[in-house]
Homo-oligomer: A and B are copies of this chain.
Amino acid sequence: MDATTAQRIYLVRYPDGMPTDADLKLESMPMPRPGADEMLLRTIYLSLDPYMRGRMSPAKSYAKGIKPGDTMVGATVSEVMESNLDGFAPGDIVLSYDGWQTHAVSNGKGVVKLDPKAAPITTALGVLGMPGFTAYAGLLEHGRPREGETVVVSAASGAVGQIVGQIARIKGCRAIGIAGADDKCRMILDEFGFDAAVNYKDADFRDRLAEACPKGVDIYFENVGGDVFRAVLPLLNDFARIPVCGRIAHYNDTTLPEGPDRLPQFMGMVLTKRLSVRGFIQFDHLDLLPDFRRDMAAWIRDGKVRYREDIVDGFENTVEAFRGLLTGRNRGKLIVKVGDDPTR
């Protein structure tokens, strides 16, 4: 790649199950040129998040899907290379939404300048960005934690889960993390300070989860679905809340799972335990964003919230890294380093 060439990864066709290299292709293209009132951005970091799998689909979801031929979407941290736009100058570091590409032309809409002195610029994609805000809004608004309650979170070492458990502890709750590897469980305990961590791949997972929750479960922050979800259900206390944030175990489902049909039994439990089940997306809660920014900055400064990032080097590794995200290969918030980081 030279100064006249850029690269992008685009959707060739809707994947059937796990996305393959035939579904998502990298191609070179001429370097884009900014026009009047535009600027040229160079991607430094690209965020990879589970929601992106939902975009690779013709099915209606909470956001419009992308079509074959489109560049994959995603949040980016970028450097301004050229600017014909007031307020942005070459060398500025910005948070943008340029997708899976090395360069982009932007009219500045939705672009936010970052202060590299305030926090590492990768945090704008993680703990101080969308994943951190998802944890904050979902737990506080829909989980409504009260002191002394038990909070269980799945995908607990991931970008959202790691923050959920730490906020739960700040709010005086017992935090239990579920993850799919022993080193992830250690990370949950040692780095993030959860009260307990359980590996759902262990044969005695259900017993261990029950042991970790001697007073039952008051909040289950759902990121996963599948067997993990079903294991938590019998432990739920009356009036438990289930903020539904994600269902990564199902994103590659191509058919309805085999029976029996567990939906009636679940609805029976909703009734007798008076459960509150609530799906949410962070962008429905933007009114909480100022509170989030204030609280999270203070918690990080005071050492009450720690975070872990998994940075994969090289744009050409994006698709493989994304597949790893869907199978749990990442350790913490997954980010692709697309180009040089001038702040490090």
Tell me the A residues contacting B by CB distance below 8 Å: 54, 60-62, 222, 225-226, 229, 238, 244-247, 250, 253, 255-281, 284
Beta-carbon contact of B279 and A273 below 8 Å: yes
Number of copies of this chain in the oligomer? 2
The reply to whether B277 and A278 contact each other, CB–CB distance below 8 Å, is: yes
Closest to A61 in B: B272
Give CA–CA (A255, B261) in the complex, Å.
10
Partner of A279 from B229, B274, B280 at Cβ < 8 Å: B274
Contact of A261 among B60, B244, B256 (CB under 8 A): B256
Is there contact, CB below 8 Å, between B278 and A226? no
Contact call B247/A256, Cβ cutoff below 8 A? no
Whether the pair B276, A281 counts as a contact (CB closer than 8 A) is no
**Are A275 and B264 interface neighbours, CB within 8 A?**
no
A-B pairs, top 5 by smallest CB distance, nearest first, are: A259-B259, A256-B260, A271-B279, A277-B277, A270-B279
Contact (A62, B258) CB under 8 Å given A247-B264, A263-B266, A264-B250: no
Which residues of B have CB within 8 Å of A262? 256, 261-263
Contacts of A260 in B (CB 8 A): 255-259, 261
Measured CB to CB, the closest approach of chain B to A217, in angstroms, equals 16
Given contacts A258-B259, A260-B258, contact A267 B62 (CB under 8 A): no
29 pairs, CB–CB < 8 Å, chain A vs chain B: A222-B267, A225-B264, A225-B267, A226-B264, A229-B267, A244-B271, A245-B271, A247-B268, A247-B271, A255-B260, A256-B259, A256-B265, A257-B259, A257-B260, A258-B259, A260-B261, A261-B262, A263-B266, A266-B266, A270-B278, A271-B280, A273-B279, A274-B280, A274-B284, A275-B277, A275-B279, A276-B277, A276-B278, A276-B279
Residues of B with C-beta under 8 A to A61: 272
- Nearest B residue to A264 via CB reads B250
> Which partner residue on chain B sits nearest A262 by CB separation?
B263
Give, as a whole number of angstroms, the nearest-CB distance from A136 to chain B: 17
Task: Give A73 Cβ to nearest chain B Cβ, in Å.
Answer: 17
Residues of B within 8 A of A62 (CB): 238, 271-274
**Residue of A54, A259, A271, A273 with highest tally of chain B CB at under 10 A:** A271
- Beyond known contacts A229-B267, A258-B261, A276-B279: 12 more, CB 8 A cutoff: A54-B272, A60-B272, A244-B267, A256-B259, A256-B260, A257-B259, A258-B259, A261-B261, A266-B266, A269-B279, A274-B278, A274-B280
What's the Cα separation between A284 and B244 when bound, in Å? 24
In the complex, are the beta carbons of A264 and B256 less than 8 A apart?
yes
The 8 Å CB contact of A253, one of B245, B264, B269, is: B264
User: Across the interface, which residues of B come within 8 angstroms of A222, CB to CB?
Assistant: 267
A225 and B263 CA atoms in complex are apart in Å by 10
